[in-house]
């Protein structure tokens, strides 16, 4: 089996399906669709045996926090808001949700951390990615993905990276499907040592494309060592 990466655009609740995409290192789309609960996600991973699962969601809490409940006395080690990787994103002028006790995506954070632990418990390597940051790094600022114009612009550009994606004039994908594909593509870049890690290793790393890295997977891109994940042997 050729090496594969699963990209997940995780949702807060299993009541709304999580978009997924399975890419090969050659950028063929093996599968795409929706999964509901964690059990379906783990079954998907067992079916495709990916070298990597790239999840679009926070996979860790700020150092010092055991939870995100305001009633709990736990407090972050840092006096600054959120995780270090999120603050580094802000310094790059890339907006994101901060992981705090007042986060509006608290449910997603809890779900993402639990899913990461389950996948790692099954022997799968997992990294955190952020498709919006990947888009900015590779394409610059585009119209909002929630608009038709934004989805069209993103799909046209992403198709140059993943030729199996249809032209938007033929079939316009949902923004969730596009995020899942971008998550998987960022995972491919990670395996090619074409991402950089933001954040604190002890707290949790976020992986985004190297700034200025050629978009079409050119081998001339200066390699950077992968950080934070020991890739398992897939037999």
Residue 31 forms beta bridges with which residues?
22
- What is the rounded CA–CA span in Å between residue 214 and residue 203? 30
216 pLDDT band, cuts 50/70/90, is very low
Residue 207 forms beta bridges with which residues?
129, 197
Burial of 225 (0-12, 13-18, 19+ CB in 10 A): exposed
Q: Which of 53-67, 167-181, 202-216 has the highest mean pLDDT?
A: 53-67
Instruction: Tell me the CATH number at 37.
Output: 3.30.420.10
Contacts of 55 (CB under 8 A, 6+ apart): 8, 10, 112, 115, 116, 126, 127, 128, 129, 183
Q: Which domain holds residue 108?
A: 4-209
- What is the rounded CA–CA span in Å between residue 132 and residue 217? 19
For residue 180, the model assigns a pLDDT of: 97
Name the domain count of the chain. Answer: 1
Is position 128 within any domain?
Answer: yes
Residue 22 forms beta bridges with which residues?
6, 31
Q: Locate tokens 């990947």: which residue?
A: 134
Is position 159 within any domain?
Answer: yes
Is position 13 within any domain?
Answer: yes
181: which DSSP letter?
H
Burial of 87 (0-12, 13-18, 19+ CB in 10 A): middle
Is the model's pLDDT at 80 over the cut of 70?
yes
Is position 68 within any domain?
Answer: yes
28-79 pLDDT per residue, tens = 999 999 999 999 999 999 999 999 999 999 999 999 999 999 999 999 999 9
């Amino acid at each position: 089996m050729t090496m594969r990466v699963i990209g997940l655009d995780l949702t807060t609740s299993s009541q709304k399906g999580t978009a997924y995409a399975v890419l090969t290192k050659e950028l063929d789309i093996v599968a795409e669709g929706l999964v509901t609960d964690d059990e379906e996600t783990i079954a998907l991973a067992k079916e495709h045996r990916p070298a990597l699962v790239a999840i679009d969601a926070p996979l860790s809490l700020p150092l010092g926090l055991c939870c995100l409940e305001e009633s709990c006395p736990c407090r972050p080690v840092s006096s600054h808001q959120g995780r270090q990787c999120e603050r580094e994103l802000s310094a790059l002028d890339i907006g994101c949700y901060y992981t705090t006790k007042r986060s509006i995506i608290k449910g997603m954070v809890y779900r993402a951390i639990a899913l990461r632990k389950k996948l790692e418990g099954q022997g799968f390597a997992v990294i955190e990615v952020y498709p919006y940051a990947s888009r900015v790094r590779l394409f610059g600022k585009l119209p909002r993905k929630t608009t038709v114009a934004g989805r069209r612009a993103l799909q046209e550009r992403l198709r140059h990276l993943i030729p199996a994606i249809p032209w938007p004039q033929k079939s316009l994908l949902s923004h969730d499907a596009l995020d899942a594909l971008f998550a998987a593509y960022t995972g491919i870049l990670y395996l090619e040592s074409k991402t950089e890690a933001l954040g604190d290793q002890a707290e949790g790393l976020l992986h985004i494309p190297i700034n200025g890295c050629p978009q079409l997977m050119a081998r001339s891109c200066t390699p950077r060592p992968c950080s934070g994940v020991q890739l398992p042997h897939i037999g």
